[in-house]
Structures are given as structure tokens and as C-alpha cells.
Amino acid sequence: MTIGKADLSKADIGVIAALFVGVLSAASLAFIKLCPSAAFVYALAAFVGSVFIAYSYHFFLRTPKQTKYGVSSPKMLACIIGLSAIGAILLEVFTLWGAPLSTPLELSDWSKRRILIFFVAISGCMIVHVSNSYAAVPKIGPSGHSYQRSIGKLFAYSIPGVTLMTLFVAIIGLVPSYFVSKIIGVVAGRLTYLLICFFLVGVGAFFYFWKKGRVELFFLSSCLLLGSFLVFIAPPVTAISWDDEIHYDRALGLSYLGHSEYSYADQLLVTKPWAAVNLDHELLYESVDEVAEAGASAEQSGEYMEQPSFASPISKSSLTTVSTFGYVPSAIGLWVARVFHVPILVSFMFGKMGNLISYAVVIAFAIRIIPTKKLSMMLIGLLPTSIFLASNYSYDPVVTSFLMLAAALVVREISRPLERLTIKSLLKIVTALFLGLAPKAIYFPVIGLLLLMPRAKFSSRTAYKRYIGFVVAFGLVMVLSFVLPMLFSADAQAGDARGGSDVSASGQIAYILSHPLDYAYTLINFILGYISPVNSDMYSLSFSYMGVSLPAVLQWSSALPFTVLIVGSLIDSPKTKTFGLSLCGRLWVLTIVASSIALVCTALYVSFTSVGSNTIAGCQARYLTPLLLYAALLAPSFSTGGIQISNSGKLIKEESTTRITMLFLTSIMIFFSAACSYYFIVLW
């Protein structure tokens, strides 16, 4: 169905109107009874639920359609509801099986809220899958026989298959490194595993990139291997990455979906006494044994504590916020670890691995579908700091990966100006944008990329106006997600306590409004240094508390990753002649990037900087990473032969010059990731 067309009857309109009134009533009640952030989440959930109900009513009851599973009908909807209910109950059983204090044999331990969330998630996924499926049409070969790919090839050259295969060989690679560490020493064992991962990256480069030309699979295998080294070899405790103790606490609470159960070992991971003031390297490694002993003691004695509300177990901060979506990958990893009853340190690694897999898979899909800037996307995804964050507890990888996926979806639509924009395609873009903006809605200007959609993609002028109205409304919703808590929350108005006693968000806003020119000077002066190539190593090579700069002998190369990004954006020419930004389009993208940077800096000035300061505190360079792909769209393209891509995203033809250039630039980035891992992890 294209934008502007809908076959709605009066009954359909009546159902939609009733649901809309219900959503408004629920939102008003939630805003009165709850805090603004929680009210926003409940109102958003009510709206999305209403959309699903209306869509299900229309798809299964009003307009039957042919799908891969038969004709949509009330019977099919009943089957989906039944299977979703069974799946929700099974997930609840597994949750209670993994919980240390609860058991599925006690009905009092069962959580209605958890079952409802599981049911909604499963039914939503099933409805989306069924509605997107069509009757399977077999491919006919030259001889007239139907053609199907072998299971082996499908596994070896698909994103899920490569993910499983890469993780398997990464785990197997731990065996020789373990024996080396026992015979020679710990450092030798770490180096052995790094070399094994580096060798496997080379194997992936040969098979996936050089022989098959599957850029996304080469990225996927490389990212998972380099990230696996950081997950398995770095100390399995907090105080490794920025604010990882906060992210772990919230991911742990989310993994229970309410009524968390935690031990003294979890408290240690959140309070991190080995980094109370500054990170103590000796205490950090000693803490690994302390956490392991605390976890083992809790398992034997059953000494666990409970947090009955939907909040992080240790800090007690509410999880009923939009930003909680950023912790889903890590929470899934922790949930799986509990099901298998693994020790606390292994469970901690599971959570980090969940984050890494999500990051790698989402960007791999983005690389596959984008018709241009594939090299730029791969280089950004392989930045050492990006992989480091993806291998730890953080929601930055979720922001970066889904904003890159959203950009890929938009660019693909722009490159097809003669094809109508369908509601299905628009919902995919909006979903990716929402998941990317939920943890950090301050990047909301990137929604403006949707305004570059050609008018030819719409059936009428009215349809185009509706589309613009929808984009503006979506932007306002994301703005409200962080503005409402600031306006109505006393904690938000006070600012971040980590910035010092002079921090006051309300006072800082008053200062900006009363001294706009002074603040403009402070902002511009800070941004010029913030985006300087001289400081690019802070978002490309920094490993947070493990180290922020290479040794003196390699300082000359600190800006090399930035140079590689620039060169990659220049030679990564558009692969479809229909894609290309006009001068006005490039100026608009520049405005999006510049305004996003200014808003990020302003947010830290308000929440983390003392009132009236002439600089901006707490604005770390890693906040630029989600905007790098958008900046790459500004770069002019110089073709070196190029890659021709089919609509399915698979490579058809590739010039050897471009292939060698892409492999060379990617190898530089991979080398820096390995070098940082060696210097900051192996030798640390």
C-alpha cells in the first residue's frame, strides 16, 4: 500500500477512532498518575498497541490477503494469539527457571506483567512476519526445474549463519590460547587469541570479500571476531568502559522485566570499589576473583536480594523510560546466561556478547541494503572505539547501529525516485529511527533526512503533504521524549551530580536565554576544537578507562583512522546513477549534522557544566560516531570503477581497483583495532 492510499471502510474508521480516544484517555491518566517519562512510555505503548490492533483487524478480518501461510483470516489470527500465549508462558517458565530465588513450580512467582510483555512482543513479531510474507514462488532454473539453494550455502552466506559460525570459531579459538597461557603465561595466551582472531579475519576477507564480494559478511565476521577478543579477554568486570556500571545495572533489571533478583556480586559490579576515585589496575584484576567468589557464595547460600519494582536493582532508577530500549541486547544476553545457570563472570560476558551481536548484525544488514557508501559504513563500524563500546555495557552501539540502518533505508528509497514509497517501507525507516533515538533522542535532527524524499515517490500532492506532516509529528514525539522529563522532573532540572555542585540545568537554561551571544561564542569555539581532526583519535582509538592514546612511538598515526574515513567516503562512489544529493540536499544534510552536534554540546552544557562556564564539560568525542555516516553523505564521490549492486543488495560486478582499495582501507582499520586491543588489553 502506497502513501496516501487506503481502503478503509466506515467500520475501520470507527475502530481507529475508538482506539484513538482510548489512547488519549490512557495518556492523560498516565500523565496525571505517573512521572512524565513513565507517562510518555505508557502513552507510546498504548498508541503502538492501538496501531497493531487496528492493523490486525484490517488485515485478518476486513481484507483477507494471500500470505506464505495461507489466506489471512480470523482463524489465522486466532492461531497467532494462541501460539503467542504459549510462547509467552514458555518464556516465563525459562525466566523463573533461571532466577535464583523463584521457581516455575510456584504460581506466586509468576509475573502477569512479564507474560503480557512476552505475549505482546511475540504476537507483534508474528503479525509483522505474516503480513510481510507472500505465497512462495519457486525459482525456475534453465532446465525448467525449480531451483533452491543448498542448506550449507544458505548457512555459510547468510547473516544469521555467518553470525553463528563466527561465534563458534571464536569460542573454539579460546582453547589453544588457554593452554598457551598455562604453559608460557597470561600475556602470551592473550596474544595468541588475538593472533587467532586476526587470522580468522583474514580468512573472512578472502572468502566473503575477495571471492564472493559480500561486503556485509566480511564486516560481520571481522566485527564479531575483534569484538569477541574484547569480550573474552578484557577483565569481566565494570570500570572498563564509560559508565558501564550504570548500563549493567539497568540491563540486569530489564533482563527480569521487573522483580529483579541480585547478589552481592552484582552490587560489586555496580559500586566498583576498585575504581572509587581513579581506576586502580591492580585492584581491578583482584576484583575479578572477588566478584567470582561473591557470585559462587551467593549460589551456594542462596543469599540474594530482590527489587520488586520495574527498576534497576542496585541504583533503584526507574526503567519505565524510552532509553530502556537501548539495553535490550545486553538484557537478552543476561537472560540467556541465567537460563543456563552459568557463573557470574560468564553471565557478565553473555550480556556484553548480546550487545556485540546486535551491533554487528544491524550494521551488516545496513551495509547490505544501502546502495552507496558501503565502504564508509564498514569503516565506521570497524572503528576501534566503536567495537570497544559494542563489546561492553553501553547503549551507544544501539544508537549508532540503528541510526546507520535508518540512513541506509532512507538512501535506498532516495535512490529509487520512480518507485512509490510504501507504508511498509516508511514504517521500517521510522522503527529504525525510533530504536536509534530512544536512548539518545538528542540526535532527533537526523529525522530531517526523511525530508529529502523525492516528491515523485508519492501518488499525489496530498499524499506528500500527509507524509511531511507525519515526519514532523514523529520528530515532535521524539523531542517530547526528553523535553517532558526536563520540564517536570526535579532531578532533571538539577542536572547531573557528576558534573559538580555548581551544575544546575534550570540555571544554565536561564543563563543561555539571558546571554545568547556569549553562549553562541562558547558553543562555536568548543565545536571547532571538538570536531578537529587533531582530536579524532578520541572517537576512533580511545578505549575509555583502559587507555585513551597509543604509545609515543605511534602517536604520529593517531589521525590515520580519520584519514581513512575521509578517503573511504570519497572513493566509495554511488552505485546507482539515480542517487545523488543536489547542492540544496547537501546543505540540508550539513544542517542536520551541525544542528545535531550543537544540540549534543548544548545538552552537556545544560546538564553537566557549571552555570555560566566558558567551556562545555562532559562532551566526549564518541558522541560524534552516530553522525559520521550522515557526514559521509556530504562527500563528493570519485569513481574508481565502482560496484554495481542489484536491488537485493548482492554484488554483481566489481572492478579489481576498487576491490583492492576497499580491502586496503579496511585492513588499516582492522589493524588499528588489533593494535589497540594488543596495547590496551594484552599489555595492560
Check pLDDT > 80 for residue 441.
yes
Confidence (pLDDT) at 656? 61
Question: Contact, 628 vs 596, CB < 8 A?
Answer: no
Section 649-677 average pLDDT: 73
**122 and 206 part of one domain:** no
As a whole number of angstroms, the distance between CA 565 and CA 552 comes to: 23
Residue 19 vs residue 674, higher pLDDT: 674
**Enclosing domain of residue 187:** 150-233
Question: Contact, 625 vs 400, CB < 8 A?
Answer: yes
Angle between helices 344-369 and 244-256 (to 10 degrees): 90
Is residue 561 exposed (0-12), middle (13-18) or buried (19+ Cβ within 10 Å)? buried
Confidence (pLDDT) at 448? 94
Question: Contact, 542 vs 621, CB < 8 A?
Answer: yes
Check pLDDT > 70 for residue 158.
yes
**444 and 584 part of one domain:** yes
**403 and 522 part of one domain:** yes
**415 and 490 part of one domain:** yes
As a whole number of angstroms, the distance between CA 242 and CA 544 comes to: 6
**342 and 380 part of one domain:** no
The last residue of one of the domains, among 333, 357, 381, is: 357
Check pLDDT > 70 for residue 119.
yes
The last residue of one of the domains, among 357, 387, 413, is: 357
As a whole number of angstroms, the distance between CA 545 and CA 680 comes to: 9
- Per residue in 175-221, pLDDT (tens digit) is 888 888 888 888 888 888 888 888 888 888 777 777 777 889 999 99
**264 and 393 part of one domain:** no
**228 and 305 part of one domain:** no
- What 3-state DSSP class applies to 503? strand
With bands split at pLDDT 50, 70 and 90, how would you rate the model's confidence at 575?
low
**What value does the mean pLDDT of the chain take?**
83
Check pLDDT > 90 for residue 505.
no
Check pLDDT > 80 for residue 399.
yes
Domain count, the chain: 4
With bands split at pLDDT 50, 70 and 90, how would you rate the model's confidence at 27?
low
With bands split at pLDDT 50, 70 and 90, how would you rate the model's confidence at 496?
low
As a whole number of angstroms, the distance between CA 329 and CA 569 comes to: 30
Check pLDDT > 70 for residue 3.
no
Kindly state whether residue 644 falls inside one of the protein's structural domains: no
Kindly state whether residue 3 falls inside one of the protein's structural domains: no
**44 and 157 part of one domain:** no
**579 and 508 part of one domain:** yes
% pLDDT > 90, the chain: 35
Kindly state whether residue 279 falls inside one of the protein's structural domains: yes
With bands split at pLDDT 50, 70 and 90, how would you rate the model's confidence at 140?
very low
Confidence (pLDDT) at 26? 59
Kindly state whether residue 216 falls inside one of the protein's structural domains: yes
**496 and 615 part of one domain:** yes
DSSP string, 248-314: HHHHHHHHHTSSEEE-HHHHHHHH-GGGSSS--HHHHHHHHHHHHHHHHHHHHH---EEE-SSB-TT
Section 237-260 average pLDDT: 91
Kindly state whether residue 408 falls inside one of the protein's structural domains: yes
Judged by average pLDDT, the poorest of 45-49, 147-151, 407-411, 460-464 is: 147-151
The last residue of one of the domains, among 78, 112, 137, is: 137
Kindly state whether residue 678 falls inside one of the protein's structural domains: no
Check pLDDT > 70 for residue 491.
no
With a CB cutoff of 8 Å and minimum separation 6, the contacts of 20 are: 50
With bands split at pLDDT 50, 70 and 90, how would you rate the model's confidence at 447?
very high
**254 and 201 part of one domain:** no
Kindly state whether residue 100 falls inside one of the protein's structural domains: yes
Q: What is the DSSP letter of 611?
A: T
**24 and 88 part of one domain:** yes
Kindly state whether residue 667 falls inside one of the protein's structural domains: no
